Amino acid sequence: MAMELPDLTKRTLDKDLDKLTNVEAATHYLARQFANYATATLFLIVAGFFAGASVSNSPGVWIIIAAGAVGAYMAVNIGANDVTNNVGPAVGAKAISMGAALVLAAVFEIAGALLAGGGVVHTISSGIIDTSDVANADVLVWIMMAALLAAALWVNLATWLKAPISTTHAIVGGVAGAGIAASGLDAVDWIAMARIAAGWMVSPLLGGLVAIAFLAFIKEFIIYRTDKVAAARFWVPILSAILAGVFASYLALIGVQQIVQISVGTSLLIGLLCGGLTWLASAPFVKKQSVGLENRNQSLRQLFQIPLIFSAALLSFSHGANDVSNAVGPLAAIVQAVQNNSMSNDVDVPLWVMLIGAFGLSCGILLFGPRLIRLVGEQITKLNPMRAFCVSLATALTVLLASWLGMPVSTTHTAVGAVFGVGFFREWYTRNSKRRKLTVRAQPIRVTDNVFETDTVEMRRRYLVRRSHFMTIIAAWMITVPASATLAAWLYWVMFRLFI
C-alpha cells in the first residue's frame, strides 16, 4: 500500500496568513506613529500662529511666532518625558489602564499649569545667569531661543532612548550654555549650578530612602500581620491622609504663594487640615470596601488602588504647576524682550503663553507618554499597588521637603530613585528577612513531575531590578546638563552668525 503524502496546503496557508497578519500589525504601528508625529507637528504650527495672533501689533512678531513654536515643542517633550513621574507607578501596578492614565494626567497637568503655574516665573532658571551681564535685549532673545531649542532636542532624544531625565536640568543646562557662549563664564551663577549638581545625588537617594521606609512599614504593619485586612483597614486611611496632607502643603507653597504670602507653618496647617479631612472621609470608605475580602495580599491591592489613583492625579497637578515654567519661562522672557526691549530676571507670564505650555504638556502626554510610562512602571522592577503607593508618597514628600529647604531637586530623579529604591529593597528583603523566610517555609510544597520543590521563584537568589535600565538612566542624568549646555552654546553661535 502506497504511503500517502502529507497535505502541506493548510500549513503553508497558515504561514502566509501569519505573514499577512504581521505585515498588517507593522503597518498599523507605523501609521499610528506617523499620525502622532503629524499631530504634534500640527500643534507646533498652531501654537506658533497663536503666539503671533496674540501679539499681532507688536514688533518682532515673527520672532515671537518662532519662539511660540519652540516653546510648544519643549512643552510637548516635557509631557512625553516627565509624565512617568505621575502615572507610571499606577499603570505598572495595574491600578489604572494606560488610556485612563493618559487622560487623567493630561487633564490634571492642564489644571495645574493654569491654576497654580501662573504668576511670576523666574525665567533665568532660578538665577543661572544674570541679565545685567547680557549685552542687550536682542542677545537675551537668542540666548533663550537657543536654550529652549537645545533643551527640547535633548529631552526628545532622551525620550526616544527611553531615559527619564530632569527637564529642569535640561533647561538649566541650556540657559547656562547659551549664556556662556554669549557673555562668557562670568555670566553663570556657579554657586547655583553647584546646588543643582548636588540635587542630582540628593533627590534620587532621598526618594529611594523614603520609599524604602514606607514599604518596610507596610510590610511590617500590614502585609505580614495575621489579619492583613484588619491592619489595612486601620493604616490605609492614615497613609492616605499623609499623602493628601503632603500634597496640600506642597500645592500651598507653589500655588497659593503666588496670590498671598504664606509661611511654612501656614502651609503645614493647611496640610494637617486636608490630611484630617481625608482621614475622616477615607476611614469609613475603606472599612466598607474591606467587607468580605479574603485575608491575602490580593485584597490589600484592592484597598490601595484608589489612593494610588488619587496620588497619580495629584502628582500630575503639581507637575503641571511646577514644571510648565521650564517651557513658558524662557518663552515669556523672549516675549518681554521683543515687545519692551527690556530684560529682567522676573517676568510676568501672559495667559496665552501659559495656554501654550499647558496644552503642550497634555499633547506630549497623550501622544508620546506610553513609551516611558511602561519603562518606569513595568520594566525597572515589578510594582503592585502597595509598592507604587510608596513611590508616589516618597516622591511627594521628598519634593515638599526640598521645597522647604530650598534644594533644587528633580521630580523625575526623585520618582525614579524611589522606584529603584523599592526594587533594591525587595532584593534585600527577599534574601534577609527572617519573617519572610518563615512565611515561605510555611507554604505548602508543590509536586512537579514527582519531584518535590519549594517556591523556587521566591527562594532563589535573583535580581529584582534591571541593571541595564539603572546604568542607562544614571548615565543620562549625568550628561544632561553638559549635553544641553554644549548644544545650546552651538545653537547660539549659529543664531548669532545668522541673525545678530
pLDDT at 63: 92
Predicted confidence (pLDDT) per residue in 273-299, tens digit: 999 999 999 999 999 998 888 888 888
pLDDT at 449: 42
Mean pLDDT of the region 48-64: 87
Helix axis angle for 167-183 and 61-92, nearest 10°, is 150
pLDDT at 16: 55
Phi, psi for 232 (deg, rounded to 5): -65, -35
pLDDT at 4: 56
* SS3 at position 1: coil
Query: Could you tell me if 316 and 104 are in contact, meaning their C-beta atoms sit under 8 angstroms apart?
Result: yes
pLDDT at 280: 94
Asked if the model's pLDDT at residue 323 lies above 90, the reply is: no
Between 14 and 165, where is the model more confident?
165
pLDDT level of residue 7 (50, 70, 90 thresholds): low
Quickly list DSSP for 282-314: HHHHHHHHTTT--SSHHHHHHHHHHHHHHHHHH
Query: What is d(CA 214, CA 422) in angstroms, rounded to the nearest whole number?
Result: 9
**DSSP-derived secondary structure letter, 422:** H
Asked if the model's pLDDT at residue 8 lies above 60, the reply is: no
Q: How far is CA 494 from CA 25, 435, 464, 490, in A?
A: 42, 63, 47, 6
pLDDT at 457: 45
Mean pLDDT of the region 39-43: 92
Cα-Cα-Cα-Cα torsion 278, 282, 283, 286, nearest 10 degrees, comes to -160
Query: What is d(CA 483, CA 489) in angstroms, rounded to the nearest whole number?
Result: 10
* SS3 at position 446: strand
pLDDT at 255: 65
Query: What is d(CA 385, CA 300) in angstroms, rounded to the nearest whole number?
Result: 8
Name the average pLDDT for the chain.
81
pLDDT level of residue 460 (50, 70, 90 thresholds): very low
Predicted confidence (pLDDT) per residue in 463-493, tens digit: 567 777 778 888 888 899 899 999 999 999 9
pLDDT at 11: 57
pLDDT at 446: 45
Q: Which of 65-79, 188-202, 393-407 has the highest mean pLDDT?
A: 65-79
* SS3 at position 347: strand
Between 264 and 304, where is the model more confident?
304
Q: Which of 61-75, 375-389, 400-414 has the highest mean pLDDT?
A: 61-75
What percentage of residues in the chain have a pLDDT greater than 70?
Answer: 81
Between 101 and 377, where is the model more confident?
101
pLDDT at 455: 44
pLDDT at 70: 95
Asked if the model's pLDDT at residue 14 lies above 70, the reply is: no
pLDDT level of residue 57 (50, 70, 90 thresholds): confident
pLDDT at 458: 43
Predicted confidence (pLDDT) per residue in 137-180, tens digit: 888 899 999 999 999 999 999 988 888 888 888 998 999 999 99
Predicted confidence (pLDDT) per residue in 214-256, tens digit: 999 999 899 888 899 999 999 999 999 998 998 888 778 766 6
Query: What is d(CA 162, CA 156) in angstroms, rounded to the nearest whole number?
Result: 10
Grid cell listed for 265: 507653618
Cα-Cα-Cα-Cα torsion 332, 110, 148, 119, nearest 10 degrees, comes to 30
pLDDT level of residue 181 (50, 70, 90 thresholds): very high
Predicted confidence (pLDDT) per residue in 328-370, tens digit: 888 988 888 888 877 766 677 888 998 999 899 989 988 888 8
pLDDT at 434: 67
pLDDT at 447: 42
Predicted confidence (pLDDT) per residue in 256-280, tens digit: 666 667 777 888 899 999 999 999 9
